[in-house]
């Protein structure tokens, strides 16, 4: 059975775009169906990309709303979709315990650093400023902390020879795109319940 998923975004949506293309015609075709692309930001450029690709999108603006009130609304909205997984792809809002508990171990995130060492936003800038030789991309379950959930997979990003933050971000994003598809495919296919 294909897993029913929603992809959550807040901005650009480059990971989302790769996932949608792979669902439509690539590696993820047989393992999941995207029931919804959801955003908390009406201006998220990724919403238009998803629409143009023919996927259902929806936005509930979160600005000015209390975390739990907003999450309750989103939970109500998602309920009829009967989702198996929620895939975060640049979703910039911290989820409340209420939300996490409703989808325990079924919310997955990609984080542009080793989540054991660096949490929060700015993973590439952090790695660049540290002058590291290598950093990691992490795919993890989302728990009640920020980037603290159990690690599902990590891939190494070689930083030798990288001259600018922009170069690092470009190289890192390319790895994210490749990795997220492959790791999600494995998760969805292993989960046969």
CB of residue 169 to ligand GRF, shortest distance in Å: 8
Residue span binding ligand GRF (CB under 6 A) among the ranges 72-80, 104-112, 125-133, 181-189: 104-112
CB 146 within 8 A of CB 140: no
**Positive or negative: CA dihedral 174, 192, 36, 106:** negative
Q: Find the angle CA(71)-CA(143)-CA(187) to the nearest 5 degrees.
A: 105
Chain positions 8 to 27 lying near ligand GRF, rule: CB under 6 A, are 9, 11-16
CA atoms of 91 and 109, how far apart (whole Å) = 9
CA atoms of 78 and 76, how far apart (whole Å) = 6
Chain positions 116 to 155 lying near ligand GRF, rule: CB under 6 A, are none
Is 176 a residue that touches ligand GRF (CB under 6 A)? Answer: yes
Query: Considering CB under 6 A, how many residues would be counted as binding ligand GRF?
Result: 13
CA atoms of 137 and 156, how far apart (whole Å) = 7
Residue among 93, 106, 111, 177 flagged as catalytic? 111
Catalytic, 177? Answer no
CA atoms of 70 and 92, how far apart (whole Å) = 14
Residue span binding ligand GRF (CB under 6 A) among the ranges 48-56, 109-117, 126-134, 159-167: 109-117
Tokens read off for 8: 């959550």
Name the residue nearer to ligand GRF (CB basis): 114 or 176: 176
DSSP letter at 30 equals T
Name the residue nearer to ligand GRF (CB basis): 103 or 118: 118
Name which position in 23, 28, 108, 110 contacts ligand GRF (CB under 6 A). Answer: 110
Name which position in 28, 38, 62, 112 contacts ligand GRF (CB under 6 A). Answer: 112
What is the helix (H) or strand (E) element at residue 21, kind and residue range? helix 14-25
- Contact residues for ligand GRF (CB under 6 A)? 9, 11-16, 89-90, 110-112, 176
């Amino acid at each position: 059975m294909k897993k029913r998923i929603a992809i959550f975004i807040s901005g650009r949506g480059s990971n989302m775009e790769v996932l949608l293309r792979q669902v439509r015609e690539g590696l993820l075709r047989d393992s999941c169906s995207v029931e919804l692309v959801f955003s908390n930001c009406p201006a998220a450029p990724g919403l238009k990309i998803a629409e143009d690709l023919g996927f259902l999108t929806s936005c509930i603006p979160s600005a000015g709303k209390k975390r739990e009130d907003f999450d309750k609304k989103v939970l109500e909205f998602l309920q009829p979709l009967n989702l198996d997984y929620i895939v975060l792809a640049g979703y910039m809002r911290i989820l409340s315990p209420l939300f996490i508990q409703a989808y325990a171990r079924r919310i997955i995130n990609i984080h542009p650093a080793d989540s054991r060492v660096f949490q929060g936003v700015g993973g590439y800038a952090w790695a660049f400023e540290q002058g590291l030789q290598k950093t990691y991309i992490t795919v993890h379950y989302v728990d009640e902390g920020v980037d603290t959930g159990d690690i599902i997979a990590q891939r190494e990003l070689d930083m030798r020879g990288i001259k600018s933050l922009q170069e690092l971000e470009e190289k890192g994003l390319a790895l994210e795109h490749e990795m997220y598809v492959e790791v999600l495919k494995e998760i969805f296919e292993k989960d046969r319940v």
